[in-house]
Structure formats: C-alpha cells, structure tokens
Amino acid sequence: MFDDLRDLYQEVIFDHNRNPRNFRAMEDADRKVEGFNPLCGDRLTLYLKLDGDVITDASFQGSGCAISTASVSLMTEIIKGKTVAEAEQLFKQVHEMVTGKDEEVNLEAVGKLAVLAGVRDYPARVKCASLAWHTLDAAIQNKEKSVSTE
C-alpha cells in the first residue's frame, strides 16, 4: 500500500506545485497570517474568509519548495466548507501523520491529504509540509500574524 502511496505522493506534489489551487490574495479576508520556514526559505501568506465558524474561502500567496506549495494548495482545497473545529482536527491529524507520530495512517480520516504521509521518509522536509498547517493553526487561533517553523 505504501508503495502506491509514494507514487501518488510524487504525482500530487508535482501537480499542486505546478498548478497551485487557490493561489491569490484575498482582499476581504477575515484572517491573514504569514508563515516562514527559515531552513528552506518557504514563505506564504494564508487568507481565510469565515462565516461564523465555517471557513467559506481560503487562499494563499508566496513562494516555496514543491512540498510546501503542494501542502498549502491541498490544504486550501480541503478546508473550504469545514468548520473551524474540523480544520483544527485536520491540523492535528496531518501534523501527527507527517511527523510520524501516528504510525497508522487513517487514510479515510485525512482523505487525499494522505499523500503528505510520504514526507515522513524525508525528515528534513517535514517542516516544508507542515508550514501551511501551522499557519492555518495560527489563523484559526487568531493569535499571531506570523509563524515560523523554527
């Protein structure tokens, strides 16, 4: 199963890096948080639009490596229509998955985000994959205007 997941990981990373979804500034965003990975040089600005506790829109701008770009692109697709609590749960699941803390990847729980599990084979790239998710967490908490993976 994990060989198939590795192949899919490479395909999805390549696709989302070349054609990132939701790559745009959002002028009327309710939340705007910057994320930075000093190790790799990845930078992103995440924008969220909320209706009560539902994320109605998500977008980003920035530049980074293929893994970072693909991760934020996937994330912005997945969180649209989710409640803040659901997005927070996804953050926890993805973080555990990419850091290897959750050895058993529940593919159904994370859906197509399961492709990011492949990053655990490359420990130096975990921060690339998790930058978007830490930035989302900061936006959800509405505590910080910028986050760093260091």
Residues in the chain, pLDDT under 50:
1
Q: Which helix (DSSP H) or strand (DSSP E) does residue 73 occupy?
A: helix 66-79
User: Is pTM, for the whole model, over 0.75?
Assistant: yes
Sheet holding 146-148, edge to edge: 54-63, 42-51, 31-37, 146-148
d(CA 142, CA 46): 12
* CB environment 74-95: b (16+ within 10 A), e (fewer): bbbebbbebebeebeebbebbb
Phi-psi category of 106—alpha, beta or left, where left has phi over 0 and alpha has psi -120 to 50?
beta
pLDDT tens per residue across span 77-89: 999 999 999 999 9
pLDDT at 106: 66
pLDDT tens per residue across span 109-123: 777 787 788 788 788
Q: Are the C-beta atoms of residues 47 and 32 closer than 8 Å to each other?
A: yes
Domains and CATH numbers, the chain: 2-143 (3.90.1010.10)
Tokens, residue 91: 């953050």
Q: Are the C-beta atoms of residues 87 and 48 closer than 8 Å to each other?
A: no
* DSSP character at residue 124: G
Q: Are the C-beta atoms of residues 117 and 9 closer than 8 Å to each other?
A: yes
